[in-house]
Amino acid sequence: LPDGTELTGVADDQGNYTIDLPSNKKFNGGESIKVTSTDPSGNKSDEKVIDVKDTTSPVTPTVSEVTSESPQVSGTAEAGSTVKVELPDGTELTGVADDQG
């Protein structure tokens, strides 16, 4: 696992295996998990590295009040996320939230 923890399991007679990941660990998108197999004689396979895919939607962005005197949209969103603003005429503007959100 990304934190160095090793989990083990045994493949069935068809070569299929399932190893449950700990429910108390949170995995972030982009983290890597390494998988190997070792046969009964002790021969170890090459590593297969898979990246954790981020499938969690970001929280809804906050938006500060917009007035006719301050034509600016600001607020907070998940750090690094793309923020899209659609104006009344259908124009779309985009920006990227900084590392503080």
Q: Are 23 and 16 in contact (CB under 8 A)?
A: no
State how far the Cα of 80 lies from the Cα of 75, in Å rounded to an integer.
14
40: which 2 tokens? 């009964």
Domain range list for the chain: 1-56, 62-96
The whole model's pTM is what? 0.55
The string of pLDDT tens digits covering residues 23-42 is 888 888 888 999 999 999 99
List the end-to-end C-alpha distance of the chain, in Å, as a whole number.
Answer: 28
Summarize pLDDT for 38-80 with one digit per residue, the tens. Answer: 999 999 999 999 999 988 888 899 999 988 888 889 999 999 9
